[in-house]
Amino acid sequence: MITKLDRPPAQALPADGGLPARRAVVRWAWRLFRREWRQQLLILALIALAVAATIIGSAVATNTPQPANFGFGTAQDLATFQGSSPSLASQIASLQQRFGRSEVIENQTFTIPGSINSYQLRAENPQGPFSQPMLSLVSGNFPTGPGQVAVTSGVASDFNLKIGDLWHQGGTVRRVVGIVENPQSLLDEFALVAPGQVKAPSQVSVLFDAPGVSPHSIGPGVLTPQSVAGNALNPETISIAGLVLGMLLIALVSIGGFTVLAQRRLRSLGMLEALGATDKNVGLVVRANGGVVGLVGAVVGAVVGLVVWLAYRPSLEQSAHHMIGMFALPWLVIVLAMVLAVVATYFAASRPARSIARIPIVAALSGRPAPPRQIHRSAIPGIVCFVVAFLLLGYAGAGSGARPRTPELALGIVALVPGVILLSPFCLSVMARLGQRAPIAIRLPLRDLARYRARSGSALAAISLGILIAVIISLVSAARYSNVLDYAGPNLASNQINLYTPNGPYGQENLGPTQSGPSSASQLIRMRKTADAIAASLGSHDVVELETTSASLNHNAPGRNWSGPIYVATPQLLRSFGIKASEVDPNADILTMRPGLSGTSEMQLTYDSGGGVSAGPGQGPGRGTSASCTAKNGCFPNPVIEEVGALPSGTSAPNTVITEHAVHALGLQATIAGWLIESPSPPTAAQITNARQTATTANLTIETKNSAPSSSQIIDWATVFGIGLALGILAMSVGLIRSETAGDLRILAATGASSRTRRTLTAVTAGALGLLGAVLGTVAGYIGVIGYIRSNAENGGIAALGAVPVGNLLLILVGMPLIAAAVGWLLAGRQPSAMTHQLLE
Amino acid sequence: MSMLELRKISKVYGQGASEVQALHEIDLWVDPGSLVAVMGASGSGKSTLLTIAGSLEAPTSGEVVVGGALLSEMSRNDQARMRRRSIGYVFQDYNLLAGLTSVENVSLPLELDGVSAKKARAAGMAALDELGLADRASHYPDELSGGERQRVSIARAVVGDRQLLLADEPSGALDSTNGEAVMRMILGACKRGVAAVVVTHDAQLASWAERVVFLRDGRVVDQTMSPPSPESLLQPAPHS
């Protein structure tokens, strides 16, 4: 013989060749990956992107909130006492006697003049046994004696202090000796003094360790980091949920990719079987390839994610307002992301692995893929999943108040996913049947989608899931923002500034008992002049006086109640928004821009009737029967509400006002609450700082536009996300699906089909998948949201879905398929490179 | 005992109107050390005969016996093991696996059979060395010429203790010089005791075989002993 081999008898070896055989085929899979990784670039990129995004997203999500030991330092227990408690000393002594080592931190809160913010005068030992993670020196020194203070940079800025300055604070003069910060909260604004230097602490914290002792058994104000945390939906959990969903999408997309790749290697796999490889060995080649793709993608994604994290960390520290360790990462999530990447691709490759192993060897050797199996796909399993999801979400929505039943909510959303996956092949069959009478260039791709629905079905499911996410976000946002009672959204327009008097809705009087009594006429004149000065500094003369009364609205029915200020519709206010007096119903009690408020039943106007019943903004007198709403107890039922679209929409702007007619009829007293300034352009940060400093001089508080997104912003972003995801999946899937029918394309080209025909084939494939994905995702989204919200009285029930984001849904249902078809048309049309069969090498 | 026996082998593809009788009660036996050529027009069933003989597909009826073992009584895994241990294939377009070097291609059947990578590689190197390809051992298929690829393919077919070599148009993609070289190698393997069946269109190459079987429409229409081979002409004439 040509070679004699000393090997064990056949009976001594496993039938499938055992470890050496597995190692050989895995090695071959690895070599193939190295040779053909470009053909798998899309899946690789998806995996890498998903892992990188998970690392960055989870790192940001877990590091943005305050650290778990915030306020505890290195201690395991924190006891908090009122500074005015007469038994304070004995309580602290008791703790020290019982648990030994402890540290006392005293705080006294002061308001920063002209701001709604405050700072603390804090007595803390920089060398204390527990508090060191909560205190670090930026520059200078820590205070060591009675006449010294170190301040945070925020306090230094607010009071224009620098090291060496003398600071008159709370009747005491101290020299600033350093700049300090709380690494766990850069928003923690305080002035640090030596222990014992806070004369009248409003709050005293004691840090200590009480291992094994329940905090409740120690006292009512005792906490541990564990008792403060405890939210199951923490950032890590949310990251993992997002990761699982993302990997599911990738796995669905990858199935098509691995199938096409396996078919390209069909002759090689046939040869492997001809050489004596078992079905298991052949399947292992495809699975190993999937695993390798997942592994390489996971490693690349991890490297990219870590590099981006290291670059982004300093910025996050600034925005999260606390210091973040370089490797303070959610390692569990990262490891899980990498493992899931490998598992997802391995299992995505398993389906084509099984199919390939079933192909007869001779057919494989000749490169003939098995003809697609004509499987009847019933819609019933998918519909059952949708019904289950609908019921579960309905049960979740019926939870108490605004808080849903979380497990049912999660299960309901999860049940939508198999529903979409199971219905996808059915939808493809329906589409193919609908296209039976269409021209060949349309009929053929639709039929191919249905014939090869094992691949196109998974792609359709992935597209639908992307759209499903976008639709759910859009509908929930639209429903929440359409609530006319608990109005949500940005507080003001970007060019608006509210100035509040101390007794205005957000004035200092409402923030704490620092001052009392209404402002005098002379004070109001001074405030008005200050408001005018601030307006002038912003280039505006448009200063609208905001008057308020004790009146508020109350919704005497289940669900959310009224929120927001109600100012008086003075002629000046109406005029400033272009509303003529003649346009207002003389009998109207309330004018509002909140659409739908006029049609809301069970509304009551509550006010201070002089008997002590008073309703502040957003605080109704409580819900009772309509009969209990009488003038005697300060309640006016069913006020006449007129909708006036010209009023501003911000939650802090006068979006709802009480008419002078109602003020007079109810005998209400109007007081000046502040002024609304509208500048020609949004003020800069420097202008806002100047405005605040100016406001301080007149005891005014300012409010500028916050960062809360508007409904349209959320819905637009969700739409862009959904369409982007769907188009991305389409870009990856269509090429793979069309390559499966490359033989047909070659025949068409050989028989003289023009590039227009070839373009139409691809455009119809992309457009049909896009349209079906949009429809299926939208339907699934509506089923989920209707299921949840129909039983959720807190959010307005099914009526809350009246606000349909028509434009966005049209963009998804019409725009996205058209874009997909157009891109498919543009990118297709190239003549097939080879008209003959593909060689093995 | 014959190394390969085909007993009344029939093969039918398709059903009803599309039914095609590819082979019709074929009987064939190949003894150890003998070379049988199968000739016939396209569609005569040559390749089908070879794939059935090599357990790549099952006959519709009849029995295949390889090395005394009845294939129909074997499980798929046992058939795979039979291919690993006893049967080697040579195809017209080589069918070397891209991504594996020459020696890895050759040693692959051994590794699939559970032989350690080190032993398999040594055996593969020996096989390549015997065919004059030791210096091409670490080259990938796309770095080899057509003739070299087919020689690697033959090395893979005979590595280990293979007793049956099945070649489907082994010289079909080669020029006449390389074609003859390939046939010489197959004949060399036969001289070492390997039973070989070669499907070919080329009557000149078929003349290398001891026996030529002619197929037409799935039936054996003729069998003949081969004329003296070119090599036999070079041998000294027997003393009279």
Residue B77 at interface with chain A, using a CB cutoff of 8 Å: yes
- Sorted by where each begins, the domain ranges of chain B are 1-86+162-229, 99-160
Judged by CB atoms closer than 8 Å, whether chains meet at B110 and A278 is answered as: no
Closest CB to A24 among B96, B112, B160: B112
pLDDT given at position A698: 75
String of b and e for A150-171 (b: at least 16 CB within 10 Å)? bbbebbbebbebeeeeebebee
Residue B184 at interface with chain A, using a CB cutoff of 8 Å: no
Report residue A562 as tokens: 């009224």
String of b and e for A375-403 (b: at least 16 CB within 10 Å)? eebeeeebeebbebbbebbbbbbbbeeee
pLDDT given at position A509: 46
Quick one: closest CA in A to B143, which residue? Answer: A841
Quick one: closest CA in B to A13, which residue? Answer: B114
DSSP output for A539-580: T---EEEEEE-S-EEEE-SSS---BS--EEE-HHHHHHTT--
User: Using one digit for the tens of pLDDT, what is the confidence trace for A186-227?
Assistant: 778 899 999 988 888 888 888 888 887 777 777 766 777 766
d(CA A621, CA A613): 8
pLDDT given at position A115: 65
Quick one: closest CA in B to A2, which residue? Answer: B127
Return the residue matching tokens 């006020």.
Answer: A639
User: Using one digit for the tens of pLDDT, what is the confidence trace for B72-102?
Assistant: 899 888 888 888 888 998 888 888 888 889 9
More confident residue, A471 or A261: A471
Mean pLDDT within A735-743: 64
d(CA A823, CA A739): 17
Judged by CB atoms closer than 8 Å, whether chains meet at B119 and A361 is answered as: no
- The answer to whether the CB of A558 falls within 8 A of the CB of A398 is no
CATH topology of domain B1-86+162-229: Rossmann fold (3.40.50)
- The answer to whether the CB of A22 falls within 8 A of the CB of A14 is no
Secondary structure element (H or E) that encloses residue B73, with its range: none
- The answer to whether the CB of A705 falls within 8 A of the CB of A490 is yes
pLDDT given at position B226: 53
Residue B192 at interface with chain A, using a CB cutoff of 8 Å: yes
Residue A2 at interface with chain B, using a CB cutoff of 8 Å: yes
pLDDT given at position A732: 73
Judged by CB atoms closer than 8 Å, whether chains meet at B57 and A2 is answered as: no
Quick one: closest CA in A to B108, which residue? Answer: A24
Could you tell me the pLDDT band of residue A57, with boundaries at 50, 70 and 90? Answer: confident
d(CA A540, CA A546): 17
Quick one: closest CA in B to A16, which residue? Answer: B77
Helices (H) and strands (E) in chain A — how many of each? 24, 21
Residue B129 at interface with chain A, using a CB cutoff of 8 Å: no
Mean pLDDT within A139-159: 90
* B positions 1-30 inside 8 Å of A (CB): none
What's the complex ipTM? 0.84
d(CA A742, CA A763): 15
d(CA A363, CA A360): 5
Share of chain A above pLDDT 90, in %: 20
pLDDT given at position A399: 65
Judged by CB atoms closer than 8 Å, whether chains meet at B83 and A17 is answered as: no
Q: Is the pLDDT of residue A739 over 80?
A: no
First to last CA, chain B: 33
Of the candidates A284, A365, A269, the residue with the CA atom closest to the CA atom of residue A21? A284
pLDDT given at position B114: 86
Secondary structure element (H or E) that encloses residue A591, with its range: strand A590-592
Judged by CB atoms closer than 8 Å, whether chains meet at A268 and B98 is answered as: yes
pLDDT given at position A6: 63
Q: How many other C-beta atoms can be found within 10 angstroms of the C-beta atom of residue B13?
A: 13
Residue B45 at interface with chain A, using a CB cutoff of 8 Å: no
Q: How many other C-beta atoms can be found within 10 angstroms of the C-beta atom of residue A696?
A: 17
More confident residue, A594 or A370: A594
Residue A660: which residues within 8 A CB-CB, separation 6 or more?
A568, A569, A570, A571
Residue B127 at interface with chain A, using a CB cutoff of 8 Å: yes
- Dihedral, B40, B45, B48, B52 alpha carbons, nearest 10: -90
Residue A595, φ and ψ in degrees, nearest 5: -65, 130
- The answer to whether the CB of B218 falls within 8 A of the CB of B189 is no
Q: What is the nearest CA distance from B240 to chain A, expressed in angstroms?
A: 33
Judged by CB atoms closer than 8 Å, whether chains meet at A276 and B109 is answered as: yes
Q: What is the nearest CA distance from B38 to chain A, expressed in angstroms?
A: 19
Chain A residues touching residue B130 (CB < 8 angstroms): 2-3
Report residue A285 as tokens: 């080649």
Chain A residues touching residue B199 (CB < 8 angstroms): none
Residue B141: which residues within 8 A CB-CB, separation 6 or more?
A841, B94, B96, B97, B98, B100, B102, B105, B149, B152
Residue B108 at interface with chain A, using a CB cutoff of 8 Å: yes
Could you tell me the pLDDT band of residue A16, with boundaries at 50, 70 and 90? Answer: confident
Of the candidates A559, A560, A549, A651, the residue with the CA atom closest to the CA atom of residue A605? A549
d(CA A155, CA A118): 9
Residue B85 at interface with chain A, using a CB cutoff of 8 Å: yes
Quick one: closest CA in B to A269, which residue? Answer: B97
Could you tell me the pLDDT band of residue B240, with boundaries at 50, 70 and 90? Answer: very low
Could you tell me the pLDDT band of residue B227, with boundaries at 50, 70 and 90? Answer: low
From A85-99, A494-508, B1-15, B131-145, the region with the lowest mean pLDDT? A494-508
d(CA A84, CA A839): 89
pLDDT given at position A201: 87
Pairing status of strand A701-703 against strand A496-500: antiparallel
Chain B residues touching residue A5 (CB < 8 angstroms): 110, 115, 119, 123, 159-161
- The answer to whether the CB of A383 falls within 8 A of the CB of A427 is no
Question: Residue B35: beta bridge partners?
Answer: B196
Closest CB to B117 among A5, A8, A23: A23
Chain A residues touching residue B155 (CB < 8 angstroms): 2
Residue A264 at interface with chain B, using a CB cutoff of 8 Å: no
Quick one: closest CA in A to B56, which residue? Answer: A361
Q: Is the pLDDT of residue A85 over 60?
A: yes
Could you tell me the pLDDT band of residue A611, with boundaries at 50, 70 and 90? Answer: low
Report residue A331 as tokens: 């390692």
Judged by CB atoms closer than 8 Å, whether chains meet at B111 and A31 is answered as: no
Residue A115 at interface with chain B, using a CB cutoff of 8 Å: no
Residue A11 at interface with chain B, using a CB cutoff of 8 Å: no
Quick one: closest CA in A to B86, which residue? Answer: A276
pLDDT given at position A770: 94
pLDDT given at position A840: 40
Mean pLDDT within B229-238: 58
pLDDT given at position B169: 86
Per-residue 3-state assignment (H helix, E strand, C coil) for A270-282: HHHHHCCCCHHHH
Could you tell me the pLDDT band of residue A234, with boundaries at 50, 70 and 90? Answer: low
d(CA A110, CA A119): 5
Residue A272 at interface with chain B, using a CB cutoff of 8 Å: yes
Chain A residues touching residue B66 (CB < 8 angstroms): none
Chain B residues touching residue A10 (CB < 8 angstroms): 81, 85
Residue A493 at interface with chain B, using a CB cutoff of 8 Å: no
Q: What is the nearest CA distance from B135 to chain A, expressed in angstroms?
A: 18
A11, A19, A275: best mutation site toward chain B, by most B Cβ within 10 Å? Answer: A275
d(CA A308, CA A837): 45
Judged by CB atoms closer than 8 Å, whether chains meet at B130 and A4 is answered as: no
Judged by CB atoms closer than 8 Å, whether chains meet at B95 and A365 is answered as: yes
B82, B94, B108: best mutation site toward chain A, by most A Cβ within 10 Å? Answer: B108
d(CA A376, CA A682): 61
Q: How many other C-beta atoms can be found within 10 angstroms of the C-beta atom of residue A233?
A: 10
Pairing status of strand A656-659 against strand A567-569: parallel
A4, A5, A32: best mutation site toward chain B, by most B Cβ within 10 Å? Answer: A5
d(CA A229, CA A231): 6
Chain A residues touching residue B123 (CB < 8 angstroms): 3, 5
pLDDT given at position A515: 40
Q: Is the pLDDT of residue A841 over 60?
A: no
Report residue A430 as tokens: 């329906």
d(CA A508, CA A190): 19
Task: Tally the residues of chain A.
Answer: 841
Rg (CA), chain A: 34
Chain A residues touching residue B89 (CB < 8 angstroms): 274-275
Mean pLDDT within A653-669: 89
More confident residue, B226 or A8: A8
Judged by CB atoms closer than 8 Å, whether chains meet at A277 and B91 is answered as: no
Q: How many other C-beta atoms can be found within 10 angstroms of the C-beta atom of residue A802?
A: 12
Q: What is the nearest CA distance from A745 to chain B, expressed in angstroms?
A: 25
d(CA A231, CA A226): 10
Amino acid (1-letter code) at residue B225: M
Can you say how many angstroms the Cα of residue A726 is from the centroid of all Cα atoms in its chain?
Answer: 19
Return the residue matching tokens 């001074």.
Answer: A526
Residue B194 at interface with chain A, using a CB cutoff of 8 Å: yes
Judged by CB atoms closer than 8 Å, whether chains meet at A281 and B130 is answered as: no
User: Using one digit for the tens of pLDDT, what is the confidence trace for A748-801?
Assistant: 767 777 778 878 888 998 999 999 999 999 999 999 999 988 887 777 777 777
pLDDT given at position A614: 44
Amino acid (1-letter code) at residue A594: R
User: Using one digit for the tens of pLDDT, what is the confidence trace for A475-527?
Assistant: 888 888 878 888 788 888 888 998 888 766 655 444 443 344 556 778 888 88
Task: Tally the residues of chain B.
Answer: 240
Q: Tell me what the pLDDT averaged over chain A comes to.
A: 82
d(CA A444, CA A464): 23
